[in-house]
Amino acid sequence: MRAVLSSLVLHVHAPKVRPASLRLRATWALGLISVVLLGLLTMTGIYLMFYYFPHPDAAWRSMKDLAFVVPFGRVTRNLHRWTAHGMVALVTLHMIRVYLTGGYKRPREANWVAGVALGVLTLALSFTGYLLPWDQLAYWAVTVGANMAAAVPWLGQPLRLLLLGDMSVGEAALLRFYVLHCVVLPVAIFGLLAFHLFRVRKDGGLVVGQHAAAQIGTTTESSKLIPAWPHLIYRELVVAGLTTAAFLALALLLDAPLEPQADPTRTPNPAKAPWYFLGIQELAHSSAFWGGVFVPAATVLGLMVLPYLDTSEQGLGLYYPRQRRVAIHIFLAGVAFFVGVTVIGTWFRGPAWQWMWWPY
Amino acid sequence: MTSPERRNFIWQIGTAAVAVLGVQSAWSTLRYARAPVSYGPTRRRPLGQASRFPRGSVVFVADAGVFVSRDSAGIRAMSATCTHLGCTVRAQADGGFVCPCHGSRYDKSGVVLSGPAPAPLPFLRVQRDRGGRLQADLDVPVPADQRTDVG
């Protein structure tokens, strides 16, 4: 075990790294913070499992017990909820950073695809975890989400049945989401993360500016390499500590929401998904298929094939290089579109999804 | 057969066997996950006695998720599940219905007036059991003009 652990710790990074990799602006530590949040989610998730019962009669009560009876239960659940939100945000920002610096290009294509898959798994973990408190928000967000899956041509109804295990969200769905959330998806995300980290090192570390890239392997560059320990690891430990402290403070100050127990007969008005799915909900307002299925699926597939379409190798490692401005503008327009519909869904939609001029 | 050819042949057989096993495993997993086992409420939902629904009334039966209306021809039940994304619609003062999730509006017969709903609210088969109690079958849509005679 010790050999495995030390092997893992010693091999995540190369023994020596380029000084450019240590600058904060090289990555803004977004990938590292995502991994730290995954660790926090795993730890708090295990604690929550001791008191959580995945059944409609008991799930919501478990939340109340955690909030009012279990010592540190409230802060554990708060920490789990806020780190889950944080991970979605950080993984997205990490992906944007990698795109802007051209980190998806050769030889990192496979790792970019793995990263996109990790992003999808992060959202799947959020979606499955959302049902578990069994409150009104959970029930109706998942009802809407599962019915979006039903909008897939031909496969929609079987897919929905596969996901829910029944004709509507009920105890079968709760159990399935629990197993997916606590076993299947974490195993998948940790397996893929191992591959992701392996490829980072295998592909030559971080993508760096062209000037530095041209020098890789030369004597000049090799002589400038510095040991990962302590220079890199020390910085990573500081970031991990600060991240944990920040989210712990948030968990102490702000309670995770818990609406009334799920009532399958009464939909709240308005019924809103978590913020990171509100963009899709806003798009689905026009059409369940185009907004809820086509746009998200096309976005994920488009991101995955991107490195095989955009093969130019200019301007790597820079944030706004002249050679990549068209690609960056197209990408930022896509990001702005998703941010825009998310903002509309969050603040400008009120009861019955009516437009509200004043933030709702 | 020379040695490299034999090695290639065995490799190809092995690959094919793994592929067949993989497809079989995936298929079995999907079959397993789609087993016809349900612990949820039955799809045939009780509505109660006909006397619960006076003539000219529209009553929301929450446990069944239907609006039951009664006129001189009999009783009919309309699904309260929005055909867009499955939220429960709410009755309005004008007799119509509105979905709280994305604002689809229906008239009193369930016809879509506005919003993203792709189809009208379906009417469902209503039957009487031996004790005279009514029940709605959520899986059996019927024409809008079909009533169940309750005398």
Q: Report d(CA A279, CA A285) in Å as an integer.
A: 10
pTM for this entry: 0.90
| CA closest to B81 among chain A residues | A265
How much is the mean pLDDT over chain B? 91
Residue A246 to residues A32, A38, A77, B113, Cα–Cα distance (Å): 15, 15, 16, 49
Which of A160, A175, A285, A356 has the highest number of chain B CBs within 10 A, making it the mutation to test binding with B?
A285
**Owner of token pair 């009802």:** A143
Q: Is the pLDDT of residue B29 over 60?
A: yes
- Answer whether B86 sits within 8 Å of A144, measured CB to CB: yes
Over residues A299-322, mean pLDDT: 90
Read off the pLDDT band of A138 (50, 70, 90). Answer: very high
pLDDT for residue A278: 92
Q: Is residue A295 part of a domain?
A: no
Q: How far is A151 from chain B (nearest CA, A)?
A: 9
pLDDT for residue A18: 85
- Answer whether B87 sits within 8 Å of A267, measured CB to CB: yes
Cβ contacts from A onto B, under 8 A: 86
Over residues B30-50, mean pLDDT: 85
B13 vs A311 pLDDT, higher one: B13
The dihedrals phi and psi of B138, each to the nearest 5 degrees, come to -70, -15
Q: Is residue A338 part of a domain?
A: no
Whether A161 contacts chain B with CB within 8 A: yes
Cα atoms found within 13 Å of the Cα of residue A348, Cβ hemisphere only? 9
A209 vs A122 pLDDT, higher one: A122
- Answer whether A271 sits within 8 Å of B103, measured CB to CB: no
pLDDT for residue A162: 92
Taking only the tens place, the pLDDT of each residue in A63-100 is 999 999 999 999 999 999 999 999 999 999 999 999 99
Dig out the tokens for A79 from the structure.
Answer: 């920490």
- Answer whether B40 sits within 8 Å of A284, measured CB to CB: no
Amino acid of residue B95 = G
pLDDT for residue B60: 95
| CA closest to A136 among chain B residues | B87
| CATH code of the domain in which A186 resides | 1.20.810.10
Q: Is residue A59 part of a domain?
A: yes
Q: How far is B68 from chain A (nearest CA, A)?
A: 15
Read off the pLDDT band of B67 (50, 70, 90). Answer: very high
Q: What is the dihedral of CA A178, A179, A180, A183, to 10 degrees?
A: 120
Of B40, B90, B103, the CB nearest to A168: B40
Dig out the tokens for A118 from the structure.
Answer: 């990790």
- Number of structural domains (chain A) is 1
Q: How far is A164 from chain B (nearest CA, A)?
A: 10
Q: Is the pLDDT of residue A268 over 80?
A: yes
- Answer whether A143 sits within 8 Å of B99, measured CB to CB: no
Taking only the tens place, the pLDDT of each residue in A230-253 is 889 999 999 999 999 999 999 999
Q: Is the pLDDT of residue A185 over 80?
A: yes
Measure CA A358 to chain center.
Answer: 30
The lowest-confidence range among A70-74, B32-36, B50-54 is B32-36
Q: Is the pLDDT of residue A222 over 80?
A: no
Q: Is the pLDDT of residue A215 over 60?
A: no
pLDDT for residue A6: 72
Of B34, B99, B102, the CB nearest to A162: B34
Q: Is residue A6 part of a domain?
A: no
How much is the mean pLDDT over chain A? 90
Taking only the tens place, the pLDDT of each residue in B95-146 is 999 999 898 999 999 999 999 999 999 999 999 988 889 999 999 999 999 9
- Answer whether A288 sits within 8 Å of B116, measured CB to CB: yes
Within 8 A of B124 by CB-CB distance, chain A residues are none
A287 vs A9 pLDDT, higher one: A287
Domain around A43 = 17-273
Read off the pLDDT band of A1 (50, 70, 90). Answer: low
Q: Is residue A201 part of a domain?
A: yes
The complex's ipTM?
0.83
Non-local CB neighbours of A204 within 8 Å, separated by 6+ positions: A107, A216
Of A266, A288, A352, the CB nearest to B88: A266
Q: Is residue A318 part of a domain?
A: no
User: What does DSSP say about strands B133-142 and B44-49: parallel, antiparallel, or unpaired?
Assistant: antiparallel
Q: Is residue A304 part of a domain?
A: no
Q: Is residue A163 part of a domain?
A: yes
Q: Is the pLDDT of residue B35 over 50?
A: yes
